[in-house]
Chains A and B, each alone.
Chain A
């Protein structure tokens, strides 16, 4: 196992820049997820780490070795493809043993290693079956088996659950994380599915247009999004934005939104007057008739324990997650109270989050 260090990694296809100066470190044994919409450069980054694409610039270090220009087969990594890439002309046993065969391992040893791996993944009863008859989940397990059988430096996975149906996917998310907890393999996992990312990752990099927008733990990314893109991409429904104007002074604890004063975490930097946005997670909104920030109920979406309520305000619709027990009818006027310690402030032009007490508290908590 090894750490992966990516430095100023860049990839251009002609005029199109797929990956722009990426920097991140995946620590040894970490489960790292690259998350972003399709075309954001996450798969290209993964393929460069694998050696299937060569970077236009930058460096990739694998366990301290510079492998940037090395061939895929010389990197000692394993890759799980979205479509599994199981060889249809070989049975399960041969598929899993295929990487060992390349190393010239004796047949008896291949056999025992393959069987050990199959037991680990609970597919030992399938070893002599043809891969074409397997169910989606089992195909996935065989693909994983082929990856772990060699005990490589790290695992790279490109949307490996993308083609499974929901039922299997939830199961495999659980299994993958469990497997990772057992073997502690450094893993880079690419997905566009935030639920997969949030439930499996130790660290997440959110990418957009070839740029890493934020790198951090799932909690950091959800609670303190670094950009409006991240805030909007993560969460279902995503973060609400209410616009407000004017600058911010260091130490400010209050802003004015739609004529109502809203308490926010203490601002820790000066911001020149510009278009700003207040970011609120749906679960940080409560209904309170005393509040000056008002809207009309537009519709509700019942989810069992909670409900998502769309409220039409002067600045468009915002969504709140409230207990399912509250009865609301469309058109009803409600006041909105926002949970003051959990709000994010963004500069609308750059999309960047304004530094507030929320960030400092998090930093203190981490270091203290």
Chain B
């Protein structure tokens, strides 16, 4: 995507293209270094991960991933030798450190919590946002401007500013440490973004489409479903990504309101550090796996995301 289509009347020269290219590549490299570092660390052994100077070339190991998914107990070499042959790669790996696998860690259930809460709240926010945006876009809603301002005003302060009242309310309502509570919370935070983004997209769809469908024998809801929604997919996808990224990455509320059954991955990953030394490869492995869903989702919908970001900047 080049800015020149919108702003410049002359084609960019080869030189300016080259300079832009260099800047973009440099920026991409700087952005990707931390990710590559985490990815590399996840395949290091604990000693390699804290080696100084840092090892750029190393023998890859799955120890970080094994440690991430298991809990282990330290045993004497004699005891370990008395056991039968190792039952798998992870078993063999941890035995080298004089440990045996005691059971699965909490990472998988926390990761599943993250999936449920992030996708659940994204679905709710986009669903409510689409319907509200359609309503604001097509009907004369009394006090529409004030309502829209009110919806926007929920984003005037960082959500964490209301952390304490929410903490107290959730404790009273029994919503603390529940997936439902987290879905409600993230939906509430995201729905304002969803309404505003989607209203922009739906405003762009001429209302003639629904009018045509309604004259042709459809109810308004059918007309909405068959003519507006298919044309709003770009906007819905872009909105969904923004909502998902927020809900997926959210740390502060998750740390405050979830501790056990409903804990999500972001507050869980740092707790790995506490279990038996600073296990950086396990932390890196958790982070790497944590990145995958959002990466896949974003790559699948990258065209919509781009349009979502540049929305309104370039006229068709």
Residues of A within 8 A of B (CB): 50-52, 71-73, 75, 77-79, 81-83, 85, 87-89, 98-99, 102-103, 146, 150
Contacts and interface: CB of A to CB of B under 8 A. Distances in A.
Contact of A51 (B206, B213, B215, B230): B215
B219 interface: yes
Interface in B207-245: 208-209, 211-219, 222, 227, 230-231
Given A78-B216, A88-B231, A102-B216, A52 B209 contact: no
Nearest to B230: A89
Given A87-B227, A88-B231, A89-B230, A77 B215 contact: yes
B209 A87 contact: yes
22 contacts: A50-B215, A51-B215, A52-B211, A72-B215, A77-B215, A79-B211, A79-B212, A79-B215, A81-B208, A81-B211, A81-B212, A83-B206, A85-B211, A87-B209, A87-B227, A87-B230, A89-B231, A99-B216, A99-B217, A102-B218, A150-B216, A150-B217
A82 B209 CA distance: 12
A130 B208 CA distance: 19
A73 B231 contact: no
Contacts, number: 55
A89 B225 CA distance: 13
Given A51-B215, A52-B211, A150-B216, 16 more contacts: A50-B211, A52-B215, A72-B215, A73-B217, A77-B215, A78-B215, A78-B216, A79-B211, A79-B212, A83-B206, A85-B206, A85-B211, A85-B212, A87-B227, A99-B217, A102-B213
**B contact face: mostly helix, strand, loop, or mixed:** helix
**A contact face: mostly helix, strand, loop, or mixed:** loop
A75 B217 CA distance: 9
A146 B209 contact: no
A83 B209 CA distance: 10
A2 to B, nearest CB: 16
A81 B208 CA distance: 7
Contact of B214 (A72, A83, A88, A103): A72
Contacts of B230: 87, 89
Q: Which of A52, A73, A77, A78 has the most CB of B within 10 A?
A: A73
Given A50-B215, A51-B215, A73-B219, A85 B231 contact: no
B209 A73 contact: no
A72 B216 CA distance: 8
Contacts of A77: 215
Nearest to B210: A85
A82 B212 CA distance: 11
A89 B211 CA distance: 16
A81 B210 CA distance: 12
A73 B214 contact: yes
Nearest to A71: B214
4 pairs of A and B residues whose beta carbons are closest in the complex: A102-B217, A99-B216, A85-B208, A85-B212
Contacts of A146: 212, 216
A95 B152 CA distance: 38
A11 to B, nearest CB: 15
Nearest to A103: B217
Interface in B15-54: none
A89 B205 CA distance: 13
A13 to B, nearest CB: 11
A214 to B, nearest CB: 29
A85 B223 CA distance: 13
B155 to A, nearest CB: 32
A85 B209 contact: yes
Contacts of A78: 215-216
Contacts of B206: 83, 85
B302 to A, nearest CB: 20
Contacts of B217: 73, 99, 102-103, 150
Contacts of B219: 73
Contacts of A75: 215
Q: Which of A72, A81, A87, A88 has the most CB of B within 10 A?
A: A72
A97 to B, nearest CB: 10
Contacts of B222: 102
A284 B217 CA distance: 51
A146 B218 CA distance: 14
A73 B216 contact: yes
Given A78-B216, A99-B216, A72 B227 contact: no
Contacts of A82: 208
A52 B208 CA distance: 10
A197 to B, nearest CB: 22
Contacts of A150: 216-217
Contacts of A50: 211, 215
B227 A73 contact: no
Given A73-B218, A87-B227, A88-B231, A98 B208 contact: no
Interface string B174-210: 0000000000000000000000000000000010110
A366 B214 CA distance: 42
A146 B211 CA distance: 13
A138 B133 CA distance: 33
A271 B41 CA distance: 102
Contacts of B218: 73, 102
